[in-house]
Amino acid sequence: MVAHRIARLIKALIVTTCFLQGFTAQAQLSAALRYKTKHADTTSTGSFEADYVYPTIALNNASVNVANRATLDEAPIDFAENHLTDRQERKKLMGYLKELSANNAQINYNQARVKVYYKLANVFARLRLYPLAMKCFFKTMQYREGELPVKNQPIPVALNDTAADTSGQGVSIGNNYLAINAKDDSLFVNDANLPVANKSTEKSKAINYQRIINTFNDGKKAAAYALLFHVKQPVAGKPKVFKLTNTGHTFITLIKYNTDSTSVSISFGFYPQKDNLFSATPLDPSCSGTFKNDNAHQWDEVMGKFISKRRFEKILALTKSYDGVEYHLSKNNCTDFALKAAAFAGFGVTNSKDSWPLGHGNNPGTTGQSIIDGKVHNSESVENLFVDYQIK
């Protein structure tokens, strides 16, 4: 009898050990998630009404059919998911987008067009074409209800009004620098490895601060900067802190737009670098830390914002300060780093903490749920914050 009880205790210990070993914030995804068409914006409640009508995408000639004012509904999203494995279909979508942009000054511009741009921003974000996604979002910032676009009129963004940015001067972006152009066309149309065409998920590889900073040392003059904040929940659309050994991940993307219409960007996050069997688990929450390249990482929720040069440099300085810093499951994990970067950019979420066995702190599950619930804040106008998410 005693031997039987000892055997049961040993078996329970082995199961518990396997669980705790896997309980780490570096969980990678095994499969790409398909984009869901039913989702909602939390950026500007009341600005985009459900009964708006839009220009339609004419798939045969990529033209904007404004005359019959048919409802666009989810056409760009369905188009992106079902057709973008084909190069010709990508050309049609870009043709639509460029024609839409070329007609901005026409009197038929209205808030419906703003919503089209917003949906296209989400399409390109899901394809991990983040510079193009934020260009589309910029179009929604350019125009307010009752206003028509003015060519080359600077758009004020990312006012420096927080402790993280004390210059006291605003920032303006000339809309000509963020126009949809032939360089975007080439990158999108000729990319044979778009996520829709390649459903496999690459494991994020370790990088250092110097690799991140070198991304932006391209020798070109900057016209604008942006940051995106990504969350992959353990269970999409639910505030669960973990599911089995999956604890999700939080990471950021930094973008630099140049005056020659090119751009450079990199996605990265803070990870544990396991020193032993139990590193970054509730039994041994601290270990060495490292950055990893998350350019191919999936996400469920995203927030994005154009920021000033000063804010951008603050975020790079934060990244440098993390070089060689210890990872801690409860006190300094991937979500802690990403939230600090977002704070330097002037935005964040109102709730990001919960508890787990032997621990408590910021985590992707709670953070992502705050985004879904609209519990986000921005130091500037809420309309200047791109927010989107997927509900399974």
263-283 in b/e burial notation, b at 16+ Cβ within 10 A? bbbbbbbbbbbbeeebbbbbb
Measured in degrees and rounded to the nearest 5, phi and psi for residue 231 equal -130, 130
Chain centroid to CA 42: how far? 15
Rounded CA separation 384/375 (Å): 15
Cα-based angle 275, 279, 285 (whole degrees, multiple of 5) = 130
**Rg over CA atoms, the chain:** 22
In this structure, the dihedral spanned by the alpha carbons of residues 127, 294, 330 and 377, taken in order and rounded to 10 degrees, is -40
pLDDT tens digits for 194-225? 665 445 567 899 999 999 999 999 999 999 99
Residue with tokens 């989107």: 388
DSSP 8-state class, residue 325: P
What range defines the domain where residue 295 resides? 2-389
The pLDDT tens digits along the chain (392 residues) read 545 544 554 444 444 444 444 444 443 332 222 223 333 333 333 332 233 233 333 323 333 333 322 333 344 445 555 567 677 777 878 877 777 776 655 444 567 778 888 888 998 898 899 999 999 999 888 665 445 444 444 455 543 333 334 333 445 676 677 888 777 767 776 666 666 544 556 789 999 999 999 999 999 999 999 999 999 999 999 999 999 888 999 999 999 999 998 999 999 999 999 888 888 889 999 999 999 999 999 999 999 999 999 999 999 999 999 998 999 999 999 999 999 999 999 999 999 999 999 999 999 999 999 999 999 999 887 678 999 987 66
Closest CA to 292 of 25, 33, 15, 10: 25
Read off the pLDDT of residues 281-295 as tens digits, 9 standing for 90 and up: 899 999 999 999 999
- How many domains does the chain fold into? 1
**Alpha carbons 304 and 157: distance in angstroms, whole number:** 12
Assign 197 to helix, strand or coil.
coil
Query: Would you call 192 exposed, middle or buried from its count of C-beta atoms within 10 A (0-12, 13-18, 19+)?
Result: exposed
